Chain A
Amino acid sequence: MRCKLVAAAFAASVALSSGTALAADLEVVHWWTSGGEQAAVSVFAKEFDATGDRWVDGAIALGETARATVMQRALGGDPPDASQFNPGRQYEDLISAGLLLDLTPLAEKEGWDKFIRPDQIKAPCKIDGHWWCVPVNIHMQNWAWASVAAFKKAGLEVPTSWDQYLADLPKLKDAGVIPFAVGGDGGGWQISLLANQLILAQLGAEVVEKIWKDKNLELAGGPEVLKAFQTLKSLGEYADNGSPNRSWSDTTALVIKGSAALQVMGDWAQGEFQVAGQKPGVDYACLLGPLVPDAKYVRTGGDIFVFFKQKDADVERAQLSLASLMVNPRTQALFNTAKGSAPVRDDVDLSLANDCMKKAIDVLKQPGSVVPDANQWRNEAFTTAQNAIFSDLIYNKATTPAAAQAQFVDLLKNAE
């Protein structure tokens, strides 16, 4: 009798231990709340839900708010299970405090080293031989988006160079169209993005890194940078009254509607055009460079996800599952098509990608074409302060390009 009981107990325990672990809920924090971004993050969520675990959405509007909240929760010991960040130094404190899950075993098992390309995308995540985050896309920032209808209203073709565009500005204004669309929210990050591209256009890819990476003060105080500041100022004069404190997607909406002619924004704007059903070349034009006829470089940023150590084996399993899912070919294809960004691997089916994306990926594949943005080299305190300088230049009539440049040099000099 006892033998049977023992046998039964043994059988039961074997059955239990070989069964699947419990499905887990993962709280994921991100700041993708616009229409296009929503479509993209839903890809992750749906794919993840299909694996049996559950994506608990923790969207927090505005990147700075989201990042600050995650940091404070991490400090308090209640971090989310996963969080979005931009590649670079935003999460360096989390790494040094040992709060992040080490993804190295997973990375080695799946061979992330081999398919995640290019190196500039790997570097923010693979630090000192350890993988601390998973890159999910490559965003290219140096784009301009133009409304075909708006230019037509002024009797013009979509410009292909800066000089042409600058000449077009007064004519666009006369035609009743907003010549230059920009938004000033979030402390001026859009303006900063614009300024960075203007400086890139002046100095070229090889040289420009010296400013943010090496803190080269001579370059920062030089005539090319000054010219970029002056262009920024003139563009500001052709922006509209509603520009301050406007979000990037509301600004894109103006271009989509045809009320504004052109916006300088990263490729994430493409998602908005897609959701509105517009076609590149027909309704809108995508100008890499921006507005550089034969663009040979792409300024990259992107998004990565970090995973916080939680004291639960089921959760950890789910976290690794999500990390792996985010970089598999299928998810990469769906996510990046919806988002308008480039995937982090080559072997991805991009038949759904439109011409703009294909253009960018071609450039991306060329060696030496990738210029990471300042986030890579400087910390968030620097970028916040930088945003304020550019924002002040464009909106404050009293601030001159020279004065703003002096502040920029001073900030760089004291940057950590």
Chain B
Amino acid sequence: MSVAAMAVEPAGPKPGKLTAGRIGIYAFLVVSALFFLLPLAVMILTSMKPMDEIHNGNIFALPQHPTFDYWVKAWSSACTGRDCYGLSPGFFNSVKITVLAVPASIALAMINGYALCFWRYRGSEFLFTVLVFGAFVPYQVLVYPIIYALSRVGLFGTLPGIVIVHTIFGMPILTLIFRNFFASLPVELFKAARVDGAGFWGIFVRIMLPMSLPITVVAVILQVTGIWNDFLFGLVFAGHDNLPMTVQLNNIVRTSTGTVEYSTNMAATILTGLVPLVVYFVSGKWFVRGIAAGAVKG
């Protein structure tokens, strides 16, 4: 039974008429949807209100004069120490890091998942278990060996260095989901290609790669979210020429001049969160299909 093909069609029992049960289901779903949307609403509303409205009103009140001033401030003039340039200094750096680290980490994990599924060798399962175990470890524990290793090869504090760090820490989960995905594909595809004489790379490029769009979308969203929002690694490993936007975000949000400037903080938060959100909205359906396929085999 090919799960990938079955992925999105509902398979539950056929619906009856609009019974009390159906109303109940919709009610539950709508209430849940509200629970999920509320924080987003609060974020947006707060970012468009001046501080006195926030202080005097409540978080759900609509802004009297909605304004994007705080968005502009968060972007270009909020103070992050001595410099008052908002989030913008680090934006391009975040882009650089993400654009490089996302494909690198995904490509490697894809190859790993493929190999672990179809081309196992002695010790490969053990290595995979080590990898999964590594997923549970708090980053700081492993930061020291990585610092040493990178500084030995002269990559500490450089763009390639931070890309390597993201690749290392993304490997466990990404390999897991790719492996699961490939395991859900019909093995006949693989066997047929072997019969045709294709080898490791041949099958990968010609057959597996084209089929893996759904799971790749999942991986992209995971990595874009993780890498774009990363703060600690960027701070230590990227080098002061490549500090990501999250460093400015941290400074803006953590401190204030007088009172906590929720308006600016929320605006800054939205601006930072926009990139992964946009990626998610653009890729929605494939994302779900990918999770479906990447998750079934435990």
Contacts and interface: CB of A to CB of B under 8 A. Distances in A.
Chains A and B directly touch (beta carbon < 8 Å): yes
A120 B255 CA distance: 31
A315 to B, nearest CB: 13
B83 A76 contact: no
B92 to A, nearest CB: 17
Contact of A247 (B80, B235, B236, B256): B256
Nearest to B255: A33
B140 to A, nearest CB: 9
B257 interface: yes
A77 B151 contact: yes
Contacts of A33: 79-81, 251, 254-255
Given A41-B81, A59-B81, A250 B259 contact: yes
Interface stretch (A50-58, A188-196, A335-343, A396-404): A50-58
Interface string A69-95: 100110111101000000000000000
A371 B219 CA distance: 56
Nearest to B83: A57
Contact of A59 (B82, B147, B156): B82
Given A38-B82, A77-B151, A72 B251 contact: no
Nearest to A27: B240
A414 B207 CA distance: 62
A250 B83 contact: no
B30 interface: no
Contacts of A247: 254-256
Interface string A218-252: 00000000000000000000000000000101100
Interface in A17-65: 27, 30, 32-35, 38, 41-42, 45, 55-62, 65
Nearest to A32: B81
A411 interface: no
Contacts of A75: 144, 147-148, 151
B251 A61 contact: yes
Contacts of A27: 240
A256 B254 CA distance: 19
A41 B82 contact: yes
A77 B151 CA distance: 6
Interface string A276-291: 1000000000000000
A34 B81 CA distance: 7
B185 to A, nearest CB: 42
A69 B256 contact: no
Contact of A69 (B79, B82, B235, B253): B235
Given A35-B257, A73-B157, A77-B151, A57 B81 contact: yes
Interface string B136-147: 000000011001
A35 B260 CA distance: 11
Contact of B82 (A45, A61, A76, A253): A45
Interface size class on chain A is 35 or more
Interface string B92-118: 000000000000000000000000000
B240 A76 contact: no
Nearest to B249: A61
A56 B80 CA distance: 13
Interface size class on chain B is 20 to 34
B258 A272 contact: yes
A74 to B, nearest CB: 10
A30 B235 CA distance: 13
A176 B113 CA distance: 62
Nearest to B248: A59
B150 interface: yes
Contacts of A78: 151, 156-157, 239-240
A30 B81 CA distance: 8
B250 interface: yes
B42 interface: no
A404 B239 CA distance: 42
Contacts of A55: 82
Nearest to A256: B258
B43 interface: no
A127 interface: no
A275 interface: yes
A144 to B, nearest CB: 20
Given A59-B83, A77-B151, A72 B255 contact: no
Contact of A72 (B82, B236, B259): B236
Given A30-B81, A78-B156, A250-B260, A62 B147 contact: no
B59 to A, nearest CB: 15
B203 interface: no
A34 B257 contact: yes
B222 interface: no
B247 interface: yes
Contacts of B239: 78
Contact of B240 (A34, A56, A275): A56
Nearest to B254: A61
Given A33-B254, A59-B251, A275-B258, A73 B236 contact: yes
A38 B82 CA distance: 5
Contacts of B259: 250, 253, 257
Nearest to B154: A77
Interface string B267-281: 000000000000000
B213 to A, nearest CB: 38
Nearest to A55: B82
Contact of B258 (A41, A73, A253): A253
Nearest to B247: A60
Interface in B141-168: 143-144, 147-148, 150-151, 156-157
A57 B237 CA distance: 18
Interface string B61-84: 000000000000000000111110
B256 A34 contact: yes
A91 to B, nearest CB: 17
B241 to A, nearest CB: 9
B81 A76 contact: no
Given A33-B254, A59-B80, A250-B260, 14 more contacts: A30-B81, A33-B79, A35-B79, A35-B256, A41-B82, A45-B82, A57-B82, A58-B81, A69-B236, A76-B151, A76-B237, A80-B240, A247-B256, A249-B255
20 contacts: A27-B240, A38-B81, A41-B81, A41-B82, A58-B240, A59-B82, A59-B251, A60-B235, A60-B247, A61-B251, A61-B254, A72-B147, A72-B236, A76-B151, A77-B151, A78-B151, A78-B239, A247-B254, A253-B259, A257-B259
Q: A-B pairs with the 6 shortest C-beta distances?
A: A59-B81, A78-B157, A35-B257, A61-B254, A76-B156, A33-B255
